[in-house]
Amino acid sequence: MKKFLLAILLCAAALAARAQLTIDITTSGGRQIPVAILPFAGEGAQAQPVSPVVSADLARTGLFRLVNTVGVSPLPTEPSEVNFVDWQARSSEALVIGKVEPQADGRLEVRFRLFDVQKQSQLASFSYVVAPAQLRATAHRIADVIYEKLTGERGVFSTKITYVVKRGTRYELQVADADGANAQAVLASNEPIISPAWSPDGSRIAYVSFDRKKPMVVVQNLAQGTTRIVANYWGNNSAPAWSPDGSTLAVTLTRDSIAQIYAIPAGGGEPRRLAVTPAIDTEASFSPDGRWIVFTSDRGGSPQIYRMPAAGGAAQRLTFEGTYNVRPRYSPDGKSIAFVQREGGRYRIAVLEVDTGQVTVLTDGTLDDSPSFAPNGKMILYEAQANGRGQLAAVSSDGRVRQRLVSSAGDVRDPAWGPLPAN
Amino acid sequence: MKKVLLSIAVATLVAACGSQEVKKDVPVADRTTPPTQTQPTAQTGTTTPTQQTAVTGNPLKDPKNILSQRSVYFDFDSNVVKDEFRPLVQAHAKYMVEKKDTKIRIEGNCDERGSREYNLALGQRRAEAVKKVMTVLGVQDGRIETVSFGEEKPADPGHDEAAWAKNRRGDIKYAGE
């Protein structure tokens, strides 16, 4: 087992409300790809250097080992300047070089190249012309390209996450980059906010607000800042989940009885009850193909995970071990379901393989909650508790890599990982 | 004052018998000002006379009246209204039967363990359990809304059994409070 600490100092600008985010990564087993990421020529003149962001993105996954690049001079910026023999000697399998060049109009050209060191061949080469404020986002795009070339999977470094921060009696729904940078409050309230859920296109977030002294479901358009109450019926209104086409929300209402699951048009409209049971049904999650809804029900005497057709109908029980299996979330490929399992008084994140029924416990916390898959299915973001405070953590879906995103800013909870960007 | 005490005694008796028998001739809502009720307003000089009247005349706010007790506590993973809290719930039911214009909201709560949304549903089930005791005693269904705060509004912010025991509760709130 290897342990190392990666401290990322977020950019200095507009940092008043933000604290240092420390990402503590633990990896166990599995091969790490050695990759050398050289400082980009000219990036030192910019407020936001590019290569440290690329390095941090890749290191955070636990899938790469960053090869020491100290003492390389001059920095190669063209393929002809690369000494492949030297990088082979440093046991690097991949090499990244790049440069940042100011343009006449004030924008910057960012170029990078990715090489296979053994084959001495170029794997990727891209050039971006961006405003200086876009350097960090550009670094994430570069990391996405490198990740995809070297692992065959899509990178998720350009995605967003949302979560709730509680400070004293103040609640904020925040949206941040996947690495925790650029956190912004999109909603603030003196009443609790829970269960944020991204629309499939990332333009809206549904959440549960207690602003009217009881839970109601609200959809907020992020770009416009507009909100719409989609469910505020007698009793509780909660647990919103988006259908994959974004047209429908599954919600939990208690207007007719105990908590039951209803489908409601995402823009508002009459709820349609999907099942009638004498027990609690809640925490719906749509399968990526839109055919199924998994949910929590205690119809069998203890809360377990069930699956029913998305249009409603007979349900099938999916979990059988233990007396507390809740909060299911489909993986992006629909093959597995992350959920919260209680065992011996501890609450941990586990994954269920839908076809085989096999359950793997991924975390070792005491009060883990709210698992949410990255859109490439490789990581699961969740809420962990440490020293009586909620904080964000992530675990790879094979359990080998764990991250803790330690923030000094209050109680951080209920995270949800956003979709891949449209381009 | 005596009347209030009597009503408590009767409520206790009713609870002890586990019966639904409610003696209709026992007044619960005592509008007369108890002599000892000047104390709550003494702590602040800004309290207006209007508020003072409201406080002292309201059995729901009278600390000596069982109606001022609003919380029913539950065991872990349970929504059973325990015997020790039945007199409290019955007193509120009786009050509502007599005061036909009153409406209440029962707010269910859970301790922090487990998922937020399942806890929200569990809290609602607790609120429903309290409501059921009251509807059996004659309060119309539509006058009691049950909602839940799940684990979001702990009475005690601690992370141990003592705190959790205080957080597994149903709170009775009258309309306008």
- The verdict on B103 touching A (C-beta cutoff 8 Å) is no
Angle at A171 between CA A168 and CA B107, to 5 degrees: 90
- What confidence score (pLDDT) does residue A404 get? 87
- What confidence score (pLDDT) does residue B46 get? 41
Alpha-carbon gap: A423 to the closest alpha carbon of chain B (Å): 34
Residues of chain B with C-beta less than 8 angstroms from the C-beta of A214: 105, 107, 145, 147
pLDDT tops 90 at residue A114: yes
pLDDT tops 90 at residue A330: yes
- What confidence score (pLDDT) does residue A415 get? 96
- The verdict on B150 touching A (C-beta cutoff 8 Å) is yes
Please tell me the number of Cα atoms within 13 Å of B2 on its side-chain side: 0
In chain B, pLDDT over 70 holds for what percent of residues? Answer: 68
- The verdict on B143 touching A (C-beta cutoff 8 Å) is no
Least confident of A48-52, A263-267, A399-403: A399-403
Secondary structure (H, E, C), A242-282: ECCCCCEEEEEECCCCCCEEEEEECCCCCCEECCCCCCCEE
For residue range A181-220, list pLDDT tens digits in order.
999 999 999 999 999 999 999 999 999 999 999 999 999 9
Residues of chain A with C-beta less than 8 angstroms from the C-beta of B104: none
CB atoms within 10 A of CB A109: 14
- What confidence score (pLDDT) does residue A27 get? 74
* Cβ contact A332:A373 at 8 Å: yes
For residue range A60-80, list pLDDT tens digits in order.
999 999 999 988 888 898 899
- The C-alpha atoms of residue A27 and residue A43 are separated, in whole angstroms, by 30
In chain A, pLDDT over 90 holds for what percent of residues? Answer: 85
- The minimal CB distance from A236 to the residues B114, B116, B148 is found for B148
pLDDT tops 50 at residue A156: yes
- The minimal CB distance from A210 to the residues B114, B115, B152 is found for B152
pLDDT tops 50 at residue A12: no
* Cβ contact A84:A76 at 8 Å: no
pLDDT tops 90 at residue A96: yes
pLDDT tops 70 at residue B54: no
pLDDT tops 90 at residue B2: no
Residues of chain A with C-beta less than 8 angstroms from the C-beta of B149: 192, 210, 215
- What confidence score (pLDDT) does residue A422 get? 82
- Tokens encoding B9: 């005694």
- What confidence score (pLDDT) does residue A21 get? 56
Alpha-carbon gap: B169 to the closest alpha carbon of chain A (Å): 16
pLDDT tops 50 at residue B39: no
- What confidence score (pLDDT) does residue A22 get? 65
Q: How many helices (H) and strands (E) does chain A have?
A: 3, 31
- The verdict on A368 touching B (C-beta cutoff 8 Å) is no
- The verdict on B170 touching A (C-beta cutoff 8 Å) is no
Residues of chain A with C-beta less than 8 angstroms from the C-beta of B117: 194-195, 238-239, 252, 282-283, 296, 326-327
Q: Which residues pair with B71 in a beta bridge?
A: B171
Mean pLDDT for the stretch of residues A297-308: 97
* Cβ contact A287:A310 at 8 Å: yes
pLDDT tops 60 at residue B34: no
- What confidence score (pLDDT) does residue A244 get? 98
Mean pLDDT for the stretch of residues A38-61: 95
- Asked if A388 and B124 come within 8 Å (Cβ–Cβ), the reply is no
Identify which of A63, A82, A164 has the alpha carbon closest to the alpha carbon of residue A369: A164
pLDDT tops 90 at residue A18: no
- The verdict on B105 touching A (C-beta cutoff 8 Å) is yes
- The verdict on B82 touching A (C-beta cutoff 8 Å) is no
- The C-alpha atoms of residue A114 and residue A365 are separated, in whole angstroms, by 38
In chain A, pLDDT over 70 holds for what percent of residues? Answer: 94
- The C-alpha atoms of residue A412 and residue A3 are separated, in whole angstroms, by 24
- The verdict on A236 touching B (C-beta cutoff 8 Å) is yes
Chain B: residue whose CA lies nearest to A253? B121
* Cβ contact A69:A36 at 8 Å: yes
- The C-alpha atoms of residue A383 and residue A404 are separated, in whole angstroms, by 10
- Tokens encoding A141: 């795009």
Cα torsion angle, A305, A307, A312, A315, sign: negative
Mean pLDDT for the stretch of residues B68-97: 96
DSSP β-ladder status, A248-253 and A260-265: antiparallel
- The C-alpha atoms of residue A111 and residue B19 are separated, in whole angstroms, by 82
Q: How many helices (H) and strands (E) does chain B have?
A: 6, 4
- The verdict on B124 touching A (C-beta cutoff 8 Å) is yes
Between A and B, how many CB-CB pairs are < 8 A? Answer: 94
Residues of chain A with C-beta less than 8 angstroms from the C-beta of B152: 192, 194, 210
A164, A254, A347: best mutation site toward chain B, by most B Cβ within 10 Å? Answer: A254
A44 three-state secondary structure: helix
pLDDT tops 70 at residue A103: yes
